[in-house]
């Protein structure tokens, strides 16, 4: 039986504030699941007449699927949201792109006619479950990935500096400062209010507070201050805490529908899916992979970078963001890129970052109604890149 693909739309995208991982983090006493359930509830509360009975699946990205993030977290979320037993779910792992992969998998399900409405997203509580916790690498892992540096994301960033010495530490620091400035302007202008869902939490001192602001941004960052930071991954290196994304806790979620269902419900979608692509590179320079993924996504869509009005590129490290921009023929200060700042400012809670990019793009589409196409892309540990192109429906 032959079927035509359905058009797939993003109805809404939301997130928690992003906290710093560790005992001083705003989510230190909050479980990963409890970061997610308020997002599920908010996505439906904000978009009547959508109801839990219409949600046909929950696809949730989680990098470290152990302890509170194990046990098929995606299935547990609907029950913890008090939606009963009838909403299925699963967990998805593509490391940093787990959440963006979950969103794209949701697109696939709807496009193929397997569903008309689902929720996709991601979470990472890096304070409770650090990167690499309880992993047992295969004895040949170093051999097949090149060497031990492939296991350390900081070392992969240093490797990019080694292979592309034209990208200097000074350039990386300058990029990081500008990222912080863009984030400060966006935050002060209230750009985060529409997508951050307030959550009441217990703080490390035992008090309770509603959290609705990101903890990671450092608006006071200067190039002079960054120049004095240590290079933890290598002596006399170039990668520092200041020109890298942070270790963070947070979650983000996206409500997806077939365009036909959205129209039938009278829900106004924010953007339409155009194309998806994944690429792979030498794991020792994993941060370079967005560029080939972006090129592949553009080719599949029959578009060029000139057609893309807004670019949301996850910044695991300044050097990898710079490399991808320069490889694609873009300037480091291209005005289309990360208009509200990126992960160097807000943080990078792994599988939550991809859906966060989708939420930012939806907000930027609303702010720029004449923009037609937007791009969300990110690098992935072990040498992968993921890219999704979207079309603006807010005119």
Distance of CA 208 to the CA centre of its chain: 28
Residue 144 has pLDDT above 80, yes or no: yes
Q: What is the pTM of this model?
A: 0.98
| Spatial CA neighbour of 385 closest among 158, 96, 42, 127 | 96
| Spatial CA neighbour of 98 closest among 355, 390, 316, 358 | 355
Q: How far apart are CA 229 and CA 199, in angstroms?
A: 33
User: Quick one: how many helices (H) and strands (E) in the chain?
Assistant: 12, 12
Q: How far apart are CA 32 and CA 73, in angstroms?
A: 9
Query: Residues 6 or more apart from 148 whose CB is under 8 A from it?
Result: 142, 155
Res 205: pLDDT: 87
Res 203: pLDDT: 87
154, 239 Cβ separation under 8 angstroms: yes
Query: Residues 6 or more apart from 255 whose CB is under 8 A from it?
Result: 10, 11, 12, 13, 43, 44, 47, 50, 117, 119
Res 204: pLDDT: 83
Q: pLDDT per residue over 259-298, tens digit each?
A: 999 999 999 999 999 999 999 999 999 999 999 999 999 9
Query: Residues 6 or more apart from 295 whose CB is under 8 A from it?
Result: 328
Active site residue 379: yes
Res 343: pLDDT: 98
Q: How far apart are CA 42 and CA 111, in angstroms?
A: 24
Q: How confident is the model at residue 92 (pLDDT cuts 50, 70, 90)?
A: very high
Distances (CA, A) of 99 to 37, 51, 59: 15, 22, 8
388, 275 Cβ separation under 8 angstroms: yes
Average pLDDT for 156-160: 98
Secondary structure E strands in 177-289: 199-202, 208-211, 248-258, 271-280
Q: How confident is the model at residue 328 (pLDDT cuts 50, 70, 90)?
A: very high
What mean pLDDT value characterizes the chain? 97
Residue 156 has pLDDT above 90, yes or no: yes
Average pLDDT for 12-23: 98
Active site residue 90: no
Please compute Rg for the chain using Cα positions: 20
Average pLDDT for 90-104: 98
Residue 395 has pLDDT above 80, yes or no: no
Residue 1 has pLDDT above 80, yes or no: no
Alpha helices in 95-194 (DSSP H): 98-111, 141-145, 153-163, 169-188
Res 307: pLDDT: 98
Q: How far apart are CA 211 and CA 340, in angstroms?
A: 20
Q: What does the DSSP assignment read for 331-372?
A: -TT-TTB-TT--HHHH---GGGHHHHHHHHHHHHHHH-TT--
Q: How far apart are CA 98 and CA 122, in angstroms?
A: 7
Query: Which member of 109, 125, 128, 348 is catalytic?
Result: 348
Q: How confident is the model at residue 163 (pLDDT cuts 50, 70, 90)?
A: very high
Res 3: pLDDT: 81
Query: Which member of 96, 117, 125, 128 is catalytic?
Result: 96
Q: Show contacts of 230-233: CB within 8 Å, 24+ apart.
A: 232/154, 233/152, 233/154, 233/155, 233/157, 233/158
Q: How confident is the model at residue 325 (pLDDT cuts 50, 70, 90)?
A: very high
54, 85 Cβ separation under 8 angstroms: no
Q: How confident is the model at residue 2 (pLDDT cuts 50, 70, 90)?
A: confident
Res 308: pLDDT: 98
Distances (CA, A) of 306 to 191, 271, 289, 375: 26, 19, 20, 12
Residue 148 has pLDDT above 80, yes or no: yes
Average pLDDT for 6-14: 98
Residue 4 has pLDDT above 90, yes or no: no
Q: Which fold has domain 8-128+246-389?
A: Peroxisomal Thiolase; Chain A, domain 1 (3.40.47)
Residue 227 has pLDDT above 90, yes or no: yes
Residue 101 has pLDDT above 90, yes or no: yes
Active site residue 96: yes
Res 41: pLDDT: 98
- The H or E element containing residue 125 is strand 117-125
Residue 100 has pLDDT above 80, yes or no: yes
Residue 374 has pLDDT above 90, yes or no: yes
């Amino acid at each position: 039986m032959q079927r035509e693909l359905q058009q797939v739309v993003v109805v809404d995208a939301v997130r928690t504030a992003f906290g710093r991982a560790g005992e001083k983090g705003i989510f230190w006493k909050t479980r990963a699941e409890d970061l997610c359930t308020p997002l599920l509830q908010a996505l439906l509360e904000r978009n009547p007449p959508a109801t839990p009975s219409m949600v046909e699946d929950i696809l949730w990205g989680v990098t470290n699927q152990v302890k509170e993030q194990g046990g098929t977290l995606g299935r547990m979320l609907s029950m913890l949201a008090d939606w009963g037993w009838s909403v299925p779910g699963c967990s998805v792992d593509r490391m940093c792109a787990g959440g963006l992969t979950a969103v794209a998998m949701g697109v696939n399900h709807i496009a193929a006619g397997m569903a008309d409405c689902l929720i996709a997203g991601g979470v990472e509580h890096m304070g409770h479950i650090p990167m690499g916790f309880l992993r047992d690498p295969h004895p040949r892992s170093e051999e097949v990935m090149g060497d031990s540096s492939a296991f350390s994301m900081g070392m992969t960033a240093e490797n990019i500096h080694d292979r592309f010495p034209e990208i200097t530490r000074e350039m990386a620091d300058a990029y990081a400062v500008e990222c912080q400035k863009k984030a400060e302007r966006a935050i002060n202008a209230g750009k985060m209010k529409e997508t951050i869902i307030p959550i009441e939490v217990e703080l490390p001192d035992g008090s309770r507070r509603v959290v609705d602001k990101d903890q990671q941004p450092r608006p006071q960052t200067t190039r002079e201050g960054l120049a004095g930071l240590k290079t933890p991954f290598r002596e006399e290196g170039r990668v520092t805490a200041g020109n890298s994304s942070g270790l963070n806790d947070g979650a983000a979620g996206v409500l997806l529908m077939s365009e036909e269902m959205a129209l039938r419900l009278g829900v106004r979608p924010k953007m339409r899916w155009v194309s998806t692509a994944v690429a792979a590179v030498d794991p020792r320079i994993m941060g370079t992979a967005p560029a080939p993924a972006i090129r592949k996504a553009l080719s599949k869509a029959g578009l060029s970078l000139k057609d893309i009005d807004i670019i949301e590129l996850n910044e695991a490290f300044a050097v990898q963001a710079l490399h991808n921009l320069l490889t694609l023929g873009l300037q480091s200060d291209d005005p289309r890129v990360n208009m509200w700042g990126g992960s160097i400012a807000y943080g990078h809670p792994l599988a939550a970052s991809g859906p966060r990019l989708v939420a930012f793009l939806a907000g930027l589409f609303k702010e720029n109604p004449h923009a037609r196409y937007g791009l969300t892309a990110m690098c992935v540990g072990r040498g992968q890149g993921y890219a999704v192109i979207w079309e603006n429906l807010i005119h």
